[in-house]
Chains A and B, each alone.
Chain A
Amino acid sequence: MSDDKKNPFEEAYHRERKTRRRAEQLLEDKSRMLHQRNQELEQINHQLLSQQASMLKQEKLATLGTLAAGVAHEINNPLAFVTSNISALDEYHSAYHSLYKLFKDIESDLMQDKQERLQTLVKQLDLEYLDSDLPHLMKQTLDGLDRVRKIVLSLRNFSRSQEGDRDFTNLNEGIESTLQLVQSELKHGIDVVLDLKELPKIYCNPSEINQVILNIVVNASHALKDRPNPTIKISTNADDKNVLITIEDNGIGMSAETLNNIFVPFYTTKPIGQGTGMGMAIAHKIISEHHGSIDVSSEINKGTCFSISLPQHEKSY
């Protein structure tokens, strides 16, 4: 074939080859783009789902808070008069007790028929037992009432949402004074390791933040009961935006279910009477009100770690 008379199909063939290469390139580019878009979408979707979950959780906590406030308010009134009546009854009993003692003292001086009548009545009514059991009953009742009072108090603390007294505070000082407060709780040989870095003062309500630390440390001390080398490690740190507190224990740790519910009011794994399940709910609420965050990670039989982050530049508004 001569040069000036090229086969038109050969020319077309070369063109088609280039076209095919271009088409394949295009397919690859589009596939890559599609893959990337898909990844972006998956990521966004993932983000949305977790945001939704945390929103639902927040909503649940808020609803429970309102409910708690209502319950606390309603219980408080009857609690007040029941407590005052019980205290009055306690006094009445001591009046009655004096009378009974007088009877015992003068029993033998009475004429025989009067003495017998009284003794029959004492037996019938089991007055001896009543007299000895009443102080017991009273004490238990008053203890119970005191427990109810504490629960109501923590509910009211939980739902009270004014900002309270805020000031520029050094959190390290708060941590140290809180630890003094729980000395007795930490008696059973718990080692407390502090790693407190220099912190900028932050604008917060110090007694509330101390309460958060207290609640966490008390929980940790419970988790450390009968554990080998019980240790609580508290560290503080600051980056350019936040102050960070971590409180770590090597206690029993918690299950995924507990971890999931730890900030829910009334959620407790402790026996009735020992825990109200409000400690962490209150902590969560306080930290949220300070526009901070509180996170917890835990592994069964290894331990638990709380991380609190509080913004440095939180102004009063």
Chain B
Amino acid sequence: MKGVIFNVLEELVIETSGMEAWNNILAATGYEGIYTSGDSYPDEELFALAAEICKVLNVDLATVIGIFGEYLFDQLDARHPVFVQQSSDLRSFLVSVDTVIHGEVLKLYQNPNLPRFSYRDEGDTLVMNYTSERKLCILAEGLIRGAAKRFNADVDISHPVCMHDGADHCQLNVRFK
């Protein structure tokens, strides 16, 4: 997982619960917590940190990941504002994720292990099919929510097909109201 994801997670914890909380979480997981955006780190490390956060805050993993997704969107937007600027609305932004944004990521990093999105337009609903070994569909949902806020778009997100239920992909329906 890219280092920037760890950086943002750290920021989220420090912003909401303070420096000491983050220190404690690191201490509890046994990680050094040295993350740079240019490097990648094992996925287990991120999952272990998330699990620890759940314990400390006493919320379930899906909630943590969902909140993190929204926050992550804002932070990524702050670091790389051009992608939002390039898109006129939420729909075109979401459609650009797979080729444009991931294309840029591939220029910078070897082997980033990116998730894949494919799209289907169904009138008022954009159907996004998500596949990734990491099965972080909840994170994707959070990111989409963050993007919707950024574009001031009123949307309903549903998740009728999920890899966690044994499917080979997740289906995220973004209905524009």
Contacts and interface: CB of A to CB of B under 8 A. Distances in A.
Interface of A: 8-9, 11-12, 15, 18-19, 22-23, 26-27, 30
Grouping DSSP codes into helix (H, G, I), strand (E, B) and loop, the B interface class, with mixed when no group exceeds half, is loop
Grouping DSSP codes into helix (H, G, I), strand (E, B) and loop, the A interface class, with mixed when no group exceeds half, is helix
B32 A18 contact: yes
Contacts, number: 30
B38 A15 contact: no
Interface in B7-51: 18-20, 22-23, 26, 32-39
Interface residues of B, number: 14
Contact of A26 (B23, B26, B32, B39): B39
Contacts of A15: 26, 32-34
B18 A26 contact: no
A8 B26 CA distance: 12
* Pairs A-B, 10 closest by C-beta atoms: A8-B20, A23-B36, A8-B19, A26-B38, A19-B34, A18-B34, A8-B23, A11-B23, A22-B36, A12-B19
A19 B23 contact: no
Contact of A27 (B20, B22, B34, B38): B38
A154 to B, nearest CB: 58
Nearest to A20: B36
A31 to B, nearest CB: 11
Given A12-B19, A30-B38, 16 more contacts: A8-B18, A8-B19, A8-B20, A11-B23, A12-B22, A12-B23, A15-B26, A15-B33, A18-B32, A19-B35, A19-B36, A23-B36, A23-B38, A26-B36, A26-B39, A27-B38
13 contacts: A8-B18, A11-B23, A12-B23, A15-B32, A18-B32, A18-B34, A19-B36, A22-B34, A22-B39, A23-B36, A23-B37, A23-B38, A30-B38
